[in-house]
Amino acid sequence: MFSLLSLSGTLAAWKHRYCNGQYTTCERYRLSAAGRSVPQNLMPNGVLLKKLAAPAK
Amino acid sequence: MTYWPWWLGGVGLALAAVLHFVLTRRLLAVSGRFSTLVDRARHGEAPDDPELSHDDLLAALRAATAEQFGASASTPEPPAEPAPEPLPTAAPNDAGTSLVFFGGVALGACASAWLAGALHPEVGIGSPLFASLVGGTGRQAVVLTLGGVLVGFGTRMAGGCTSGHGLVGVSRLQKGSLLATLAFFGAGVLASLLIARFV
C-alpha cells in the first residue's frame, strides 16, 4: 500500500482501526507474521481489491 | 594474506548501499531479500492482480473504504502539490533481482579472496582460536550452521540484519535500527571481551 499512502483521507480509517488498533485482526499482518507474501491489493479486512465494473451507460 | 585498509571496507559498503538504491529503488536489506526468496519457494508468487492498474487500485480502494466505513471516510484529501514518492522500506519482492544480488555477493567474496591470495575453500573460518575453542572441522561445521540458524532467527525477530539495520537504518537515524545495531554490536564486543579474558 506504499503507493497509496498519499491518500491519507482514505487510509486514515483503516490505519485507525487496524494499524493503530486491532492489528492482530489485520489480514495483511496475519499473512506477514506467517511468513507469507502479502498481495498489494489485499485490504486489512481480507478483501482483495478488484477492478471495478464500468458503470452502465 | 594482506588485508585491505579497514576504512576501505566502510567506503565499499556505503557505495554498495547507495548503488543498490540507485539501481533498484529499494533500500539494501540482505535478510529481507533472503526471506523473500524463501517465502517465494514455500508459497509461490504473491497473488497480485496484473490487470489492476494504479488508478484501478485507487478506485477500488475508495469503494472498499466506503463500504467498510461509510462514504465520508472514502473521500481523499486533495494534495496541495503532487505528493513525493514514498521511500520504500519493505523487503524487496523481486525474486530475480534477489538471485542476481546473491550471485554478486558470492562472486564478490570469491574475487576478494582471490585477489588476496586466500581463495582456499575449507570448512571453518580459518581461525586457530576458533578451532581451539570448537574442535575439528566437523564440529566447526555444526557450530557454524547453528550460528547461522540463530542469526536467521534473530534477524527475522528484529526485522532486519546488519545491512538493513546497521547500514541503512542507522544512516537514516531510525530508532529501531539504532537499538538493533547497539544490541548486536554490543553482544559482539561483549563476547570478544569475554573470550579474550577467559580463553
**Partner-chain contact A3 B86, CB within 8 Å:** yes
Residues B131-143 have pLDDT tens digits of: 888 888 899 999 9
* Distance (Å, whole) CA B62 – CA B56: 10
The per-residue pLDDT for B79 is: 47
Residues A37-52 have pLDDT tens digits of: 788 778 898 888 887 7
**Contacting residues for A37 by C-beta, under 8 A, at least 6 apart:** A31, B39, B40, B43, B44, B45, B46, B93
Among B65, B86, B67, which Cα is nearest to B76's? B65
Interface residue B81 vs chain A (CB under 8 A): no
> Under a CB-based contact definition with an 8 Å cutoff, are residues B124 and B144 in contact?
yes
**Mutation test of the interface with chain B: which of A6, A27, A31, choosing the one with the most B Cβ atoms within 10 A?**
A6
Residues B155-198 have pLDDT tens digits of: 888 888 888 899 999 998 988 899 999 999 999 999 999 988 88
The per-residue pLDDT for A52 is: 74
Q: What are phi and psi of A48, to 5 degrees?
A: -90, 120
Nearest Cα residue in chain A from B70:
A13
Task: Calculate mean pLDDT across residues B59-82.
Answer: 68
**Mutation test of the interface with chain A: which of B38, B53, B68, choosing the one with the most A Cβ atoms within 10 A?**
B68
* Distance (Å, whole) CA B166 – CA B182: 9
Among B55, B50, B51, B49, which Cα is nearest to B76's? B55
- Provide ipTM, 2 decimals: 0.75
DSSP per-residue codes, B139-168: HHHHHHHHHHHHHHHHHHHHT--IIIIIII
User: Which of A19-33, B39-53, B67-81, B101-115 is least confident?
Assistant: B67-81
Interface residue B90 vs chain A (CB under 8 A): yes
Nearest Cα residue in chain A from B78:
A7
